[in-house]
Amino acid sequence: MAKKQEKQIINERESRKEILRKRRQDQQLRQIRLMVISVVALIVVVIAIGLVNELLIAPNRAIATVTVTDPNLNFTGQEQITLRDWQDRVVYERAQRIIFLKEQLEAFGGNVGIIQQFAGQTILELQDEEGIGQTVLDLMVQESVVRQAARARGIVVTDEDVDRAIGESFGYYGGGLPTPQPTATQTAVPTPSLTPIPTPVITDVVPTAVPSPTPTVGSTSTPLPTATPVSEESFRAQLNEQLANLRSYGVKESTFREYVRTQLYAERLADVLAIERELATEAEHASIYVLSFTSQADADAARALMEAEGYLTVWNRVRSTAATETPAFPGASATELLWRTRNDLTAIYNEALAAAAFTLPLNEPSEVLLRPSQVEGQPDQYYIIQVSGREVRPLAENTLRQAKAQLVSDYINAQVAQGAQLTQFWRSRVPSRPMLDPLFLTPPTPAPTTPPTLAPIP
Q: What does the pLDDT look like over 42-97, one tens digit per residue?
A: 888 777 777 666 666 778 899 999 999 999 899 999 999 999 999 999 999 999 99
Residue 200's H or E segment, with its range, is none
Residues 116 and 262 in one domain: yes
Residues 266 and 384 in one domain: no
Percent of the chain at pLDDT exceeding 90: 65
End-to-end CA, the chain: 131
What is the average pLDDT across 303-314? 95
Q: Which residue has the higher pLDDT, 449 or 131?
A: 131
Query: Where does the pLDDT of residue 24 fall: very low under 50, low under 70, confident under 90, or very high at 90 and above?
Result: confident
Q: Tell me: cis bond preceding 365? Omega within 30 of 0 counts.
A: no
Residues 247 and 312 in one domain: no
* pLDDT in the model for residue 52: 67
Residues 428 and 310 in one domain: no
Mean pLDDT of the chain: 85
* pLDDT in the model for residue 187: 36
Q: Are 335 and 292 in contact, with CB atoms under 8 Å apart? A: yes
288 found inside a domain: yes
Q: What does the pLDDT look like over 268-296, one tens digit per residue?
A: 999 999 999 999 999 999 999 999 999 99
* pLDDT in the model for residue 202: 37
Contacts of 352 (CB under 8 A, 6+ apart): 369, 370, 371
Residues 341 and 432 in one domain: no
Residues 343 and 264 in one domain: no
* pLDDT in the model for residue 211: 39
Residues 329 and 239 in one domain: no
Residue 153 has pLDDT above 90, yes or no: yes
Residue 278's H or E segment, with its range, is none
* pLDDT in the model for residue 43: 84
CATH code (residue 388): 3.10.50
* pLDDT in the model for residue 376: 81
* pLDDT in the model for residue 336: 96
Residue 457 has pLDDT above 90, yes or no: no
DSSP H helices in 53-82: none
What is the average pLDDT across 295-313? 95
What is the average pLDDT across 233-240? 95
Residues 91 and 172 in one domain: yes
Q: Which residue has the higher pLDDT, 183 or 97?
A: 97
Range with the poorest average pLDDT among 16-20, 245-249, 375-379, 386-390: 16-20
Q: Are 121 and 97 in contact, with CB atoms under 8 Å apart? A: no
Contacts of 344 (CB under 8 A, 6+ apart): 399
Q: Are 444 and 116 in contact, with CB atoms under 8 Å apart? A: yes
Query: What domain range is 420 assigned to?
Result: 64-176+230-279+402-441
DSSP H helices in 310-386: 311-321, 342-348, 351-357
What is the average pLDDT across 382-388? 97
Residue 387's H or E segment, with its range, is strand 381-394
Taking the C-alpha atoms of residue 69 and residue 79, their distance in angstroms, rounded to an integer, is: 12
Residue 154's H or E segment, with its range, is none
Taking the C-alpha atoms of residue 397 and residue 152, their distance in angstroms, rounded to an integer, is: 27
The amino acid present at 7, given as its one-letter code, is K
Residue 415's H or E segment, with its range, is helix 397-419
What is the average pLDDT across 156-166? 96
Residue 200 has pLDDT above 90, yes or no: no
What is the average pLDDT across 120-133? 95
Q: Which residue has the higher pLDDT, 221 or 100?
A: 100
Q: What does the pLDDT look like over 309-363, one tens digit per residue?
A: 999 999 999 999 988 888 889 989 999 999 999 999 999 999 999 999 999 999 9
Residues 234 and 343 in one domain: no
Residues 243 and 136 in one domain: yes
Query: Where does the pLDDT of residue 26 fall: very low under 50, low under 70, confident under 90, or very high at 90 and above?
Result: confident
Residue 458 has pLDDT above 50, yes or no: no
DSSP H helices in 190-249: 232-248
Range with the poorest average pLDDT among 24-28, 79-83, 84-88, 400-404: 24-28
266 found inside a domain: yes
Percent of the chain at pLDDT exceeding 70: 81
316 found inside a domain: yes
3-state helix, strand, coil in the chain (%, to 5): 55, 15, 35
Largest distance between two CA atoms of the chain: 159
* pLDDT in the model for residue 10: 64
Residue 140 has pLDDT above 70, yes or no: yes
* pLDDT in the model for residue 4: 63
Query: Where does the pLDDT of residue 429 fall: very low under 50, low under 70, confident under 90, or very high at 90 and above?
Result: very high
418 found inside a domain: yes
Residue 108 has pLDDT above 70, yes or no: yes
pTM of the model: 0.73
55 found inside a domain: no
Residues 149 and 234 in one domain: yes
Radius of gyration of the chain (CA): 38
What is the average pLDDT across 239-266? 96
Q: What does the pLDDT look like over 213-228, one tens digit per residue?
A: 333 333 444 555 556 7
* pLDDT in the model for residue 216: 38
196 found inside a domain: no
Nearest 5°: the CA angle 404, 350, 343 is 20
Residue 325's H or E segment, with its range, is none
| Burial of 137 per CB tally in 10 Å (0-12, 13-18, 19+) | buried
Closest CA to 260 of 398, 176, 158, 172: 158
279 CA to centre of own chain: 24
Residues 142 and 262 in one domain: yes
DSSP H helices in 72-119: 83-107, 112-118
* pLDDT in the model for residue 214: 39
Q: Are 181 and 154 in contact, with CB atoms under 8 Å apart? A: no
What is the average pLDDT across 428-434? 94
155 found inside a domain: yes
Q: Which residue has the higher pLDDT, 364 or 453?
A: 364
Q: 3-class SS at 161?
A: helix
* pLDDT in the model for residue 64: 95
35 found inside a domain: no
Q: Half-sphere exposure of 415 toward its Cβ, with a 13 Å CA cutoff?
A: 28
What total of structural domains would you count in the chain? Answer: 2
Residue 192 has pLDDT above 80, yes or no: no
Q: Are 105 and 98 in contact, with CB atoms under 8 Å apart? A: no
